Structure 1
């Protein structure tokens, strides 16, 4: 019998249910995760859930959890120099440092200790690559539009020096926030910007949520996770009784201590700022990053210039004392 394609409404519903499962996995990596429990989270039959997961995510449930455990571990190894390899292994659900080391080498081609030792060079390479793309992009734009070349001193005159990390970071206790969110999957950068403009902002306007604080949450590290599998949540603050209309879902952004810095720049500049924050500020701060999500906060009065792409936001890194 020929199968009937999912309607758009059903496809969105499936996406929302699968997103709940993926979020639940990330929040419980340090505990045993079995198929019946995850099927219940998604409101699927345990009998069919494995095949539904494979069809939707493109990986078996076991392969996906294995990948996520190791990718989260790679992020912690880079950002938390004070944590031991065993502590990180236990945090992501491995029972011993030996089993963790074998799995990590299979995924990344090196031992956890070698990955940690190579972090400064990886971050330096990432910064150099991002800055080179930024400069080439500006040059290409100016060559293609000579009549629009920016004069020295204007907001478009963004040379390498302007990409240095200069934010004044302050550690603050932020409250938990209830948000409505829409999820984008794919390469960060221009794709995320289009998602905001073409999908998220129109949804907010249609639901009376203009002039409200918004959040951008990169759920994956593009230096670790393949670009096509990177996930990003565009979020808007909502009251406790708000009922999200499809295709949005509801989530709670955890409160607690965050390192917060005011950012002004373009989308490519945000990547540089995050790398500089982790490479330069965090090691000398007396703090370490924890497992809560990093995010960008866009206050209601945050400015955005569609002509130059320059925007304002606050970069927020979850931290705790050493």
Structure 2
């Protein structure tokens, strides 16, 4: 009986992962629950129950939060686009509904958020003493030279994880155990950063551990498969130890991006690990941070 329940749970996770991939492929789309339920192959009523059980919040809350996080990024780092444009790109039907939702979440209007001083804002990740100490260490370091590279799309197997911290190691261990059983290579490792820890609490940050695959998965469950979009990326080579990565990423997004003349795209930024600090005992990392950008405004 336990095996049957576990299989059912894995099937639910796999189907909801398909929905999450669809949501994040275009956050500006309408995303009606009926369509999402069809993707998951559930009735609409059952879909709502399963989604909340797997994700921990309702589908409406998840989409709203994802849209607002995307909008907050755009307001902060794309100063050329109007609030109306940001609202539309974030999937809101009107500026008034967008403004109400934004203020309810961030306790300020979109205009106030855009004009706030990043230098005086305290990112949520600085509440973690270890990351705060790392933040102080890297402030005087010069960012490495950026390369603008047209990257290919990447087919990956993945495990989702909520919360940014050492607990991410569990997602990687699950993925590595799966790769060993399946006889898959795990040399090409990627980590998707789907949340900006400059304003999203570490416990709410969404991270995806990924391994490159060359053929699709026939059996899916906790481990699923997707495609990381290709396109133009600003690529930074970074190295350091646990705690230093988030400050580095924030420094790139807050300092380099606004003055670069580029616009951040809606697809997730990701890291390509050469040395993974979540897996290596010395907790050192060597990686490429790949930020999707565009020259179109």
Query: TM-score, with normalisation over the residues of structure 2?
Result: 0.87
1:147 matched residue in structure 2: none
Equivalent-residue separation in structure 1 for 2:47 and 2:128 (angstroms): 44
- 2:292 aligns to what? 318
1:177 to 154, 162, 169: 154
Q: Give the gaps of 5 or more residues in structure 2.
A: none
Match of 1:65 among 63, 66, 71: 63
1:213 and 1:297 in contact (8 A); partners too = yes
Instruction: Measure the CA separation in 2 of the matches of 1:165 and 1:48.
Output: 52
Distance across 2 between alignment mates of 1:267 and 1:76: 28
User: Superposed, which structure 2 residues align to 1:99-178 within 5 Å?
Assistant: 99-118=97-116, 120-121=118-119, 125-126=122-123, 129=126, 133-134=130-131, 160-161=137-138, 164-178=141-155
Aligned-pair distance for 1:165? 4.7
Partner of residue 192 from structure 1, selected from 168, 171, 179: 168
The separation in 2 between residues aligned to 1:100 and 1:65, in whole angstroms, is 13
Deviations along 1:35-64, one digit per CA (max 9) or x if unpaired, are: 221101111112322232233333333233
Report the 3-state secondary structure (helix = DSSP H, G, I; strand = E; otherwise coil) of the residue aligned with 1:7: helix
Are the counterparts in 1 of residues 241 and 285 from structure 2 also a CA contact under 8 Å? yes
Superposed displacement of residue 211, structure 1: 4.9
Q: What is the rounded CA distance, in whole Å, between the counterparts of 1:238 and 1:171 in structure 2?
A: 25
Over the residues paired in the alignment, what is the CA RMSD in angstroms?
2.8
Quick one: structure 1 residues 53 and 307, their matched pair in 2 at CA, closer, same or farther if it must change by over 3 Å?
A: closer
Aligned pairs, how many? 294
Q: In 2, distance between residues paired with 1:127 and 1:67?
A: 17
TM-fit CA distance, 1:119: 5.3
Of stretches 236-245 and 274-283 in structure 1, the one that deviates more from structure 2 is 236-245
Equivalent runs, 1:71-82 vs 2, <5 Å: 71-82=69-80
Deviation (angstroms), 1:162: 7.3
Q: What's the CA shift for 1:245?
A: 4.8
Query: Is there any run of 5+ residues in structure 1 with no aligned partner, and where?
Result: 138-157
Equivalent of residue 91 in structure 1, options 86, 89, 98: 89
Q: Which is greater in Rg?
A: 1
Moved over 6 A (4+): none
Q: Distance in 1 between matches of 2:45 and 2:95?
A: 34
The verdict on how the C-alpha distance between 1:179 and 1:80 changes in structure 2, with shifts beyond 3 A counting, is: same
Counterpart CA distance in 2 for 1:173 and 1:264 is 22
Distance 1:13 1:227, change over 3 A: farther
Aligned to 1:291: 266
Q: RCO (CA 8 Å, sep 6+): is it higher in 1 or 2?
A: 2
Structure 1 CA distance for aligned equivalents of residues 167 and 140 of structure 2: 21
Offset of 1:181 from its aligned partner? 0.8
1:309 is matched with which residue: 278, 283, 287?
283
* 1:220–1:231 contact (8 Å) kept in structure 2: yes
